[in-house]
Structure 1
């Protein structure tokens, strides 16, 4: 039996649309056992990924028993649930074939299946990562996160499906909006690398996706305003939503306590988790 532990991820992080992502210390754990008989799997993303990789390497099998023993990453909330399934499948398949895949091959294969690298790369290697894809190959670089940063992750019971979040985006953007985002994402990366926390709030501003997706998340302006007043360094939509995240560096217990009170007033049955970056990524355990 193979056990794979995969972290949740948050992507975009304000201006880094489809290019920035970070792993968080919230995990799914999957058990995969090869069996000598067929098991009806249905539309299981872990199995489909596992089978795709094994077939590429001509590995003969009858079936697999797959169990998600710990399921902590919520589905359709912008925390990389589909990426976690894909990464689990690729990592498990690599273990089965005798660790033949290099790290870059695992990343490229996972990206091809997922469609973009922003969630899968941090899920595989941990930390906060810039990822770009060119000619079916991913180039990535880790950002040096200040050690004291924590992330207040606010998760409602309602979902925002990725396709719906994509559909609300415009087909064209103004030149000034593109410049706005380029400058912000560059500043965000450098500010984090240098520990310049006072620059984060300005740097997480965005005009590419959040102004459109915020309409899918009721009360987001209220939440962001309360977060700011409680001392957050910045707020952003996690992935395509519906989760929103506040960046905090001190008084985190007071922040969470007060935000819980505010969230109770809202529709959506909001839950809040105080998380840290996961720095190690997926593991076969």
Structure 2
């Protein structure tokens, strides 16, 4: 049986707006049970998620190979919808891999990245699902490139708000221009973040996450819990806190050794949502037959 397992992604890592992301240990899993006369995806995500060829996974696969033989598929997903954890990205990556496997396309990871970015638009959303770990990516409307690096002994204390925040609404509050001084401060923090991760200086790297002026500054009214979590996290000796994707999910990165203690303190906050203590997924999409 063909099984495709895709991790969640947490993008916009602080000043790494539209360019830096992490793969997290939450998964969307497809089990392809065999051919039949029509496409069918069995899932428990509710009536709003199509179970036929209108499902995003199948739309993606059929965009690559329109005449794929219909299959019966079981899908499970721990990734919440419209919460800033890459639910759409994981579906797109799963669809690309479904076509790759069923159609024997022989796609490389680089090929998959190009297709995914053309469909999804943001490389930091999709690249971690392919490569795993900490990923820096770019897209110039022609081609995408990504570099991945392992992040060892780090946990993501993840707060998932009860209410959705659509990417379109979160994007709408961003300005078309920002002052040069703000852009310089933010881009330099992003540069240090990347260099520090590659040197293994995680305390420096993730301190940079809280120096963003590209998007969090403008989204703070949409996610008032970000400031509350960040203030509480500062008392827990963590690396840093950031808004995941377009929100409303907020992620606090902390060393593995201090994760349990920090998690217990943060879940004591009076917030309407749930908390997860997640590892960073070292590997991206996994395929087994």
1:73 & 1:60 partners in 2: Cα distance? 27
Match of 1:225? 231
SS in 2 for 1:215: coil
Match of 2:283? 280
Q: 1:165 to 1:135 in 2, by over 3 A?
A: closer
SS in 2 for 1:109: helix
Contact 1:20-1:129 within 8 A present in 2 as well:
yes
Contact 1:95-1:284 within 8 A present in 2 as well:
no
Match of 2:196? 191
Q: Which runs of 5+ in 1 are unaligned?
A: none
Q: Which runs of 5+ in 2 are unaligned?
A: 40-50
2:224 aligned with 1:213: no
Contact 1:143-1:189 within 8 A present in 2 as well:
no
Pick the aligned partner of 2:171 from 166, 176, 192.
166
1:256 & 1:86 partners in 2: Cα distance? 31
Q: How far does residue 171 in structure 1 lie from its aligned partner after superposition?
A: 1.0
Contact 2:53-2:59 within 8 A present in 1 as well:
no
Q: 1:137 to 1:151 in 2, by over 3 A?
A: same
TM-score w.r.t. the length of structure 2 is 0.90
Match of 1:30? 30
1:161 & 1:246 partners in 2: Cα distance? 21
1:201 & 1:102 partners in 2: Cα distance? 31
2:257 aligned with 1:259: no
Pick the aligned partner of 1:102 from 88, 97, 108.
108
Q: How far does residue 200 in structure 1 lie from its aligned partner after superposition?
A: 3.5
2:166 aligned with 1:180: no
Q: Between Structure 1 and Structure 2, how many residues are aligned?
A: 275
TM-score w.r.t. the length of structure 1 is 0.91
Q: How far does residue 60 in structure 1 lie from its aligned partner after superposition?
A: 4.6
1:86 & 1:60 partners in 2: Cα distance? 16
Q: How far does residue 177 in structure 1 lie from its aligned partner after superposition?
A: 1.0
Pick the aligned partner of 1:54 from 65, 72, 75.
65
Q: How far does residue 195 in structure 1 lie from its aligned partner after superposition?
A: 2.3
Further displaced range: 162-171 or 210-219:
210-219
Match of 2:20? 20
1:239 & 1:219 partners in 2: Cα distance? 15
2:53 & 2:104 partners in 1: Cα distance? 27
Q: 1:131 to 1:201 in 2, by over 3 A?
A: closer
1:254 & 1:219 partners in 2: Cα distance? 20
Alignment root-mean-square deviation, CA: 1.7
